[in-house]
């Protein structure tokens, strides 16, 4: 067990002043929620917005709403390497998962594979059964939406859901990105670009989808008093223990399962509480500040790792990206295991993000007999993310880069 300065893999600071706004939100929930909702609508220029208890709750509501509109379709296409919340939401919505392999160089879909899936009509889960395709912007790396739009082309019955869970506030060419799907969602969970402890946002311009979402949310639950107090307690813990000087403590308590990725289709779908909406006050200003710090660290890492010729996914083609974690692809599984072990000892917050591909989640294995996703599996083995959050200092970045360099050079380059 490590005692002393320890970085978390990702973090969005919550300050005492945020907690005060949170408590104000608790006292006048309607105005806090309306204020946050109208702010999102205005900033993103969208017609419809809903605030929910988490990103997976947002996705689940979206899926139920789409399924109401097209009950004959029940299959949702997702990348084989993604946050476990995504398959959890699909199963919770009573739908089927169809996996597609990724492109190792973009972390987006392998479009040749996706085309095969869209063009196939056999096996009971082909084109006519596809309800939606989810495009994911992993680590805040904004994926190009044009290839997917082009591929869907005439199959306009298939909805595109953009998963911007890790990309709130991300921009491309100076424009906020977040509304390119038929329907889109963000997460405000711990470790995302901006956090209200937990939370999710749905945005869309499609009236038919909006009406269906309204119908789904008609019966939605709210936070109970007990749940609200748990949220407040958790916010206090985050405000205290996310800091690198104290993070070793919660990390060393195994029952807290800090950073664990779990598959759980039994999560609750609730409307956001006034407390969370209060925590979101000034989110745009705060997220700007966080991004500034994150991007300074991205630039430092880019410079420090330049000589290693690793795939860093932070190409400057469209300007510096809005990452919340900095992914690098190491040459092989052995080295990524070694890097993670060294990082653990030194408290440097490197992580392997998702423990396995979706077809290997034990509860889901029955669905994917005999299917293999070689690129997704290679990503599980080789991709390591480096922390760049606002608590990460220049000195941390130097240590992180030195650790990566040492492990790459020691074994010779592949």
29 close to 277: Cβ distance less than 8 angstroms: yes
Stretch that binds ligand PLP, among 69-77, 81-89, 279-287, 381-389 (CB under 6 A): 81-89
Chain centroid to Cα 246, Å, comes to 25
244 close to 5: Cβ distance less than 8 angstroms: yes
Q: Can you tell me whether residue 122 is helix, strand or coil?
A: coil
C-alpha distances out from residue 264 to 37, 84, 246, 362, 365, Å: 28, 8, 29, 12, 14
CB of 107 to ligand PLP, least distance (A): 11
Cross-strand bridge partners of residue 271:
52
CB of 60 to ligand PLP, least distance (A): 9
Phi, psi of 307 (to 5 degrees): -70, -15
CB of 183 to ligand PLP, least distance (A): 14
Chain centroid to Cα 106, Å, comes to 16
CB of 247 to ligand PLP, least distance (A): 19
Chain centroid to Cα 201, Å, comes to 12
Distance CA 197, CA 287 (A): 15
Q: Does 77 bind ligand PLP (CB under 6 A)?
A: no
**59/346 with CB nearer ligand PLP:** 59
Q: Does 351 bind ligand PLP (CB under 6 A)?
A: no
CB of 294 to ligand PLP, least distance (A): 16
Q: Does 178 bind ligand PLP (CB under 6 A)?
A: no
Say if residue 413 is exposed, middle or buried (CB neighbours under 10 Å; 0-12, 13-18, 19+). Answer: exposed
Stretch that binds ligand PLP, among 52-60, 249-257, 282-290, 310-318 (CB under 6 A): 52-60
Phi, psi of 300 (to 5 degrees): -65, -45
Q: Does 388 bind ligand PLP (CB under 6 A)?
A: no
Q: Does 385 bind ligand PLP (CB under 6 A)?
A: no
Which of 150, 241, 143, 238 lies closest to 189 in space, CA to CA?
Answer: 238
Among 6, 75, 166, 184, binds ligand PLP (CB under 6 A): 166
Q: Does 200 bind ligand PLP (CB under 6 A)?
A: yes
Among 7, 136, 141, 397, binds ligand PLP (CB under 6 A): 136
Q: Does 55 bind ligand PLP (CB under 6 A)?
A: yes
With tokens 């000195």, the residue in question is 395
Ranges of H-type helices in 45-122: 55-69, 85-92, 111-119
Q: Does 54 bind ligand PLP (CB under 6 A)?
A: yes
Count of residues in contact with ligand PLP, rule CB under 6 A: 15
**75/166 with CB nearer ligand PLP:** 166
**338/360 with CB nearer ligand PLP:** 360
Among 12, 135, 184, 187, binds ligand PLP (CB under 6 A): 187
**136/203 with CB nearer ligand PLP:** 136
Which residue minimizes CB distance to ligand PLP?
A: 55
Distance CA 174, CA 297 (A): 20
198 close to 186: Cβ distance less than 8 angstroms: no
CB of 357 to ligand PLP, least distance (A): 14
Say if residue 73 is exposed, middle or buried (CB neighbours under 10 Å; 0-12, 13-18, 19+). Answer: buried
**51/165 with CB nearer ligand PLP:** 165
Q: Does 163 bind ligand PLP (CB under 6 A)?
A: yes
Which two three-digit tokens encode residue 412?
């010779």
Which two three-digit tokens encode residue 261?
């990725």
Of residues 82 through 121, those in contact with ligand PLP by CB under 6 A are: 82-83, 85-86
Integer-rounded Cα radius of gyration of the chain: 21
Among 62, 165, 346, 392, binds ligand PLP (CB under 6 A): 165
Stretch that binds ligand PLP, among 78-86, 254-262, 285-293, 372-380 (CB under 6 A): 78-86
**327/331 with CB nearer ligand PLP:** 327
Q: For binding to ligand PLP (CB under 6 A), which residues are involved? A: 54-56, 82-83, 85-86, 136, 163, 165-166, 187, 189, 198, 200
């Amino acid at each position: 067990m490590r005692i002393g300065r320890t970085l978390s893999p990702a973090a969005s600071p919550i300050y005492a002043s945020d907690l005060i706004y949170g408590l104000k939100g608790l006292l006048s929930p309607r105005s806090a929620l309306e204020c946050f909702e109208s702010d999102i609508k205005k900033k993103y220029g969208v017609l419809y917005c809903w605030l929910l208890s988490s990103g997976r709750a947002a996705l689940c509501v979206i899926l139920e709403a789409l399924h109401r509109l097209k009950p004959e379709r029940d299959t949702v296409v997702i990348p084989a390497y993604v946050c476990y919340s995504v398959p959890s939401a699909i199963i919770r919505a009573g739908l089927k998962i169809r996996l597609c392999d990724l492109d190792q160089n973009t972390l987006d879909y392998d479009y040749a594979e996706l085309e095969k899936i869209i063009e196939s009509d056999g096996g009971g889960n082909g084109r006519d059964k596809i309800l939606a395709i989810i495009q994911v912007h992993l680590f805040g790396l904004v994926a190009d939406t044009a290839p997917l739009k082009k591929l869907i082309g005439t199959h306009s019955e298939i909805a595109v859901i953009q998963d911007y869970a890790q990309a709130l506030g991300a921009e491309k060419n100076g424009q906020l990105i977040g509304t390119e799907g038929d329907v889109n969602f963000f997460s405000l969970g711990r470790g995302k670009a901006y956090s209200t402890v937990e939370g999710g946002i749905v945005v869309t311009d499609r009236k038919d989808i909006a009406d269906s979402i309204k119908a789904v949310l008609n019966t939605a639950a709210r936070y109970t008093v007990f749940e609200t107090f748990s949220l407040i307690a958790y916010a206090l813990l985050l405000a205290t223990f996310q800091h690198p000087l104290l993070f070793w403590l919660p990390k060393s308590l195994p029952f807290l399962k800090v950073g664990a990725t779990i598959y759980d289709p039994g999560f609750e779908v609730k409307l956001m509480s006034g407390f969370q909406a209060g925590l979101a006050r000034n989110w745009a200003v705060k997220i700007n500040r966080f991004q500034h710090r994150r991007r300074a660290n991205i630039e430092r890492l880019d410079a420090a790792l330049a000589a290693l010729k690793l795939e860093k996914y932070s190409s400057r083609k469209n300007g510096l990206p809005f990452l919340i974690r900095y992914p690098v692809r190491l040459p092989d599984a052995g080295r990524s295991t070694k890097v993670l072990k060294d990082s653990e000892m030194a408290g440097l917050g490197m992580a392997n993000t998702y423990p396995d591909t979706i077809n290997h989640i034990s509860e889901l294995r029955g669905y994917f007999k005999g299917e293999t996703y070689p690129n997704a599996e290679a990503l599980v083995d080789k991709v390591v993310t480096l922390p760049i959050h606002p608590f990460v200092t220049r000195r941390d970045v130097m240590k992180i880069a030195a650790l990566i360099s040492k492990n790459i050079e020691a074994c010779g380059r592949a």
